[in-house]
Amino acid sequence: MTTTEEKLMDEILQVYIDLSPENISWDGERPQADVIREERFLMRKLKDLFKQIGREVSDIEAYDWEWAKRK
């Protein structure tokens, strides 16, 4: 995997982390309208990252990739 692909995978993983319910809603403290707006923004970012890397990457694949890096 090239450095660019690694950077893209890191960014994809971070978007998936940001999309987790506890992160996107600030553990329920964030107004629902803000949550919806942020989710839409993150989904557009994810779609753009998929275009850059040339394929869709599932959240499971992204987390597995990170785990494999640590070994």
List, in order, residues 6 or more apart from 1 with CB less than 8 Å away: 9
- Which residue, chain included where needed, has tokens 């949550």? 35
Higher pLDDT, 3 or 59: 59
The Cα 7–Cα 49 span in angstroms is 10
- Note the pLDDT tens digit of each residue in 7-59: 999 999 999 999 999 999 999 999 999 999 999 999 999 999 999 999 999 99
pLDDT bucket at 3, cuts 50 / 70 / 90: confident
Q: Where would I find the H helices in the chain?
A: 3-19, 21-24, 32-53, 59-70
Give the start-to-end residue ranges of the domains of the chain: 3-70
pTM, entire model? 0.92
